[in-house]
Structure 1
Amino acid sequence: MDCGGRTVTVSVLTPEVLVDLVNGWGARPRQEGLRTDEPLPRLDSLGDLSLPGAVRDALDADAVARVADAIHPVFAAADAPGCADRLTRLLSAAGARPVLAAAPDDTFHAVWSVAATDDALLAAVAVTLRTHLAEHGWGRIGLCAGAHCADVYIDQSPGGRRRFCSVTCQNRARVAAFRSRRAAGAG
């Protein structure tokens, strides 16, 4: 897609949009969660991607799935340096550059730009995760600890102890642990 030689600016997404994108469109979360027979979500279910209309309108399911698959390994990194390295490579691959934009009231705000419109979604996703990691640290993202689940989460809780993508996975793990303890006590 051509934007007349202009760069495209992208903004930080909400953590919820990022998680929905990765979990709904990523191959690994869909495979491990036994959801491969389910159709992919509708493109209009992605929420506010903060992309220019023409860029968003040009998105297709394959492009969204590629971005979800590209960002999933950042959440799966075993340590903070590995996470930083993976995310830095994605920011570089997308060609994301920080830009200072002037608002009509003569104030400034930071945005990110990419030269290739095909890289806009990857840049928006990578910038969102970069912003969250810079503010909250590596311990606030991860893969669900539930069995048969590779969904990602972004922990926004006050305690910062989240380990599951949802209450459903957390409850399944608790029930399995209870049954295991009960079976061990009966033997």
Structure 2
Amino acid sequence: MAVTITEISLDTLTELVNGWGTLPRQEDGRGDAPHRPVADIAARLGLPAHVSAALTPQALAHAADRLHAVFRADAGAACAQGLSRLLTDSGVRPAVETGADGGLRAVWSVDHADHALVAAAATTLRQYLADRGFTRIGVCAGGHCADVYIDQSPAGRRRFCSVTCQNRTRVAAFRSRRAAGVDS
């Protein structure tokens, strides 16, 4: 039976990758323990109830790790290839269904419930990158951080996952310059 999916919020997408991805958790010392229970993230993914209820920590980690690879791509072509692979592997395809008001609405569909999470995340990234471009996503430039970000700012110059990482990096650079005798 086909499963209908919709795009997920960008904040939930980054939370999935940062909270459940293996590399971000290892890099900042969180180890194997994700920062929230499965039900917390599952409720916000917008997946059908039977799909959300069946999500496991392993499925979330696997999806997050596959998505992290797209964020860390160093060129637009590599990002496009990785994202295309996710879309192809999940078997996502466009569909149309009848809404509650009787009108038609565009949705995405997959044949297997276990592909729904990656498909929903990949279609979200696909739409965002098509609108904004490859340079609007990435991995935090802060030391000892592998969290991802999606730059939604007007200027499009974000390079850190959070203000905390940005401030830590600035303080470390200041201290390094000061220790070298070059105040600024």
1:183, distance to aligned residue in structure 2 (A) = 1.4
In structure 2, the partner of 1:103 is 99
1:147, distance to aligned residue in structure 2 (A) = 0.2
* Aligned counterpart for 1:48 among listed residues 41, 44, 62: 44
1:101, distance to aligned residue in structure 2 (A) = 2.2
Equivalent pairs counted in the alignment come to: 182
- Deviation readout 1:4-37 (Å, 9 max, x if unpaired): xx20011000000000000000000011111106
Q: Is 1:93 the equivalent of 2:89?
A: yes
1:124, distance to aligned residue in structure 2 (A) = 0.7
Q: Scaled by the length of structure 2, what TM-score is found? A: 0.94
Q: Is 1:185 the equivalent of 2:155?
A: no
In structure 2, the partner of 1:78 is 74
- After TM superposition, the structure 1 = structure 2 runs for residues 147-166 of structure 1, keeping only pairs within 5 Å, are 147-166=143-162
Q: Is 1:120 the equivalent of 2:144?
A: no
Q: Which amino acid aligns with 2:145?
A: C
Distance in structure 2 (CA, Å) of the matches to 1:111 and 1:165: 30
Distance in structure 2 (CA, Å) of the matches to 1:172 and 1:97: 43
Q: Is 1:29 the equivalent of 2:24?
A: yes
Q: Scaled by the length of structure 1, what TM-score is found? A: 0.92
1:109, distance to aligned residue in structure 2 (A) = 2.2
- CA RMSD, Structure 1 to Structure 2 (Å): 1.6
In structure 2, the partner of 1:60 is 56
Contact 2:93 2:109 in 1 (8 A): yes
Identity across the alignment (%):
55
Relative distance call for 1:41 and 1:105 in structure 2 (3 A) is closer
Contact 2:97 2:106 in 1 (8 A): yes
User: What runs of 5+ residues in structure 1 fail to find an aligned partner?
Assistant: 1-5
Distance in structure 2 (CA, Å) of the matches to 1:94 and 1:13: 16
SS in structure 2 at match of 1:185: coil
Relative distance call for 1:38 and 1:57 in structure 2 (3 A) is closer
1:134, distance to aligned residue in structure 2 (A) = 1.0
1:68, distance to aligned residue in structure 2 (A) = 0.4
Distance in structure 2 (CA, Å) of the matches to 1:84 and 1:169: 27
In structure 1, the partner of 2:135 is 139
